[in-house]
Structure 1
Amino acid sequence: MYKQPLDPHLMDDLIIDCQSCSGICCIALYFSKIDGFPQDKKAGVPCLHLCQDGLCAIHSELTKRRLTGCIQYDCLGAGQIVTQSLYPKTMWQDHPDQKEQLFSDFVKVFQLQQIRWYLLQCTCLNGMEDLLSDLTQLLMEIESAFINQECLKNCSLSNMHQRANIILKEVSRRFSHQWSERPKKPMFSKKLDHQQFIETDFTMSLLIGSDFKKSQLTRVNFLGADLRQVDFSGADLYECLFLTQGQINAAIGDQKTKLPPYLKRPDSWK
């Protein structure tokens, strides 16, 4: 499925790096305790555990405290782009007049990074030669939006979504059996272990708590699927399509789980 050799640094700009951020996600976003965050928190209000340096005071205790929302969250590198490129050396506390725009830009950059992640995955696949021109052009435009605040302002998110969706739909049709845009039926806690799935379409499916232990999943499409507490222990996901780090962080796995080459095994997986 993948082109060889794969570029080991292809996704470097989409890997979360809290040390290079200022804790924007812990301020800008709405949190709910029921979703595994420390508190119910309105957007724009700092988390009670956020330190002045932008780091988390209880980061080493997240697993022990079962704060799954914090463990699963992945900004795809949006935080460091905002902190390092768009608002360099700017801490939101020092510039209260800019914070609303900064938080709004963070959300926009995160959405652009989501699009970028999927498009970069497409460039890794064989048989996409006819789409490479459109892929390359769209990726260049997204990267150009991160040059400065003015460039980001002039970048149309809706236009990016529309053009990316055309590409992702076409790639999905080529790789997924009976691909469909129709909403998928919920599959909560389904027992699907020790099975073989080939070109199965799980796009936008609710698979919460399902069991895929020791299953073989080949060219399976997980675009936008909800994988919270899905058990992939011992499963082979190497050739799965459109998996993100956030989805994997939300799932359960172990040292025998085979992941796609662009994803990292979560520390919580034993």
Structure 2
Amino acid sequence: MSQKREAPSTAGDQQELRADCANCFGLCCVALPFAASADFAVNKDAGKPCSNLLADFRCGIHSQLREKGFSGCTVFDCFGAGQKVSQITFGGQDWRKRPGEARRMFAVFPVMRQLHELLWYLGEALSLPAARPVHADLRRARDEVERRSWENAEAILELDVAELRHEVNAVLLRASELVRAEVPGRKKNHRGADLIGAKLRKANLRGASLRGAYLIAADLRDADLRSADLIGADLRDADLSGADLTGAVFLTQAQLNAARGDARTRLPEGLRHPAHW
């Protein structure tokens, strides 16, 4: 049985929230299901290893994922949950050598991913000077999520993740409002909006709320997205060519990897232009 561990004093370190596949047992290639689509070439059930997974837990087609029809793999980000589950929660014991633990490990992984995603957002919010009035609340939320992530497998599986996300989202929303309040004028509210295929070229979305918006295949060329809140926005195949996302909050590399863009696309500090742009 996995043992409960104490969280380290470096709670909230963003570097620990970056995927380290070399220290993971290929959990995203086994635990998660996918269906044959534009994102995946084949069907795969949860708990079944991908046919491209090698014996050493590396991907056999990693350099050709898009060409082979697995673009969905290139946009997935576990936020470091893979190595945490592999090396900490299960103490470096992999599911091949201990098949009796496999089902439990695969169940913990998606929960841990959600915890690490929350930690990523909380860490970003704490880096925003405008959000200083809620930094104390953000730190408390971060410390609580971090503590939960270091619990044993049983405790993690018993966690009400939806409730925790709801609590954390409340303080993240306050941070977002403080950041966007610095943008002059009235800001657009497209929270949760269906903007699939929307023609938003050169749109003024500065300081807008696009939380959870569906922007699949939207035309956002040359749009002004400075200081916009993009948490949970679906940017698959959205065209960000020439768009300005400077200072956009809660934008992740995975969202950018799912979108299209070009060398003119301006990004927040710490994010990079995907290789396929």
RMSD: 2.2
Structure with the larger strand share = 1
1:46-57 residue pairs with structure 2 within 5 A?
46-57=49-60
Instruction: Sort the Cα spacing of 1:215 and 1:178 in 2 relative to 1 into closer, same or farther, 3 A.
Output: closer
Correspondent of 2:173 among 164, 169, 173: 169
1:143 aligns with 2:151: no
- TM-score normalised by structure 2 residue count: 0.85
* Counterpart selection for 1:15 from 11, 14, 18: 18
Percent pairwise identity: 32
Determine the C-alpha separation between the residues in 2 that align with 1:20 and 1:232: 33
Q: Which residue number in structure 2 is paired with residue 218 of structure 1? A: 226
Contact 2:246-2:267 at 8 Å conserved across structures: yes
Match of 2:242 among 221, 227, 234: 234
Distance 1:28 1:217 in 2: 35
Aligned residues of 1:85 and 1:146 also touching (Cα < 8 A): no
Q: Which one is further off, 145-154 or 163-172?
A: 145-154
**Amino acid corresponding to residue 211 of structure 1 in structure 2:** D
Look up the equivalent residue of 1:189 and give its one-letter code: G
**Cα distance, 1:35 vs structure 2:** 4.6
Contact 2:230 2:249 in 1 (8 A): yes
- Listed as ranges, the gaps of 5+ residues in structure 1 are 1-8
TM-score, normalised to structure 1's length? 0.87
Q: Does 1:268 align with 2:272?
A: no
Matching residue of 1:4: none
- Determine the structure 2 residue equivalent to 1:134: 137
**1:238–1:260: 8 Å Cα contact kept in structure 2?**
yes
Asked if the contact 1:194/1:215 (under 8 Å) is kept, the reply is: yes
Which deviates further from its counterpart, 252-261 or 157-166?
157-166
Q: Give the residue type in structure 2 aligned to 1:168.
A: L
Number of the residue aligned with 2:128: 125
Q: Is 2:16–2:80's contact at 8 Å kept on the other side of the alignment?
A: yes
Q: Using the alignment, how far apart are the partners of 1:72 and 1:55 within structure 2?
A: 17
Runs (4+) of structure 1 exceeding 4 A deviation are 153-156, 178-181
Tell me, yes or no, if the aligned pair for 2:231 and 2:249 is still in contact at 8 Å.
yes
Indicate the larger mover: 34-43 or 228-237: 34-43
Aligned length: 259
Aligned to 1:6: none
**Is the counterpart of residue 251 in structure 1 residue 254 in structure 2?**
no
How far 1:26 sits from its partner (Å)? Answer: 0.7
Q: Tell whether the 8 Å contact from 1:227 to 1:247 is kept in structure 2 after alignment.
A: yes
Cα distance in structure 1, aligned partners of 2:45 and 2:25: 18
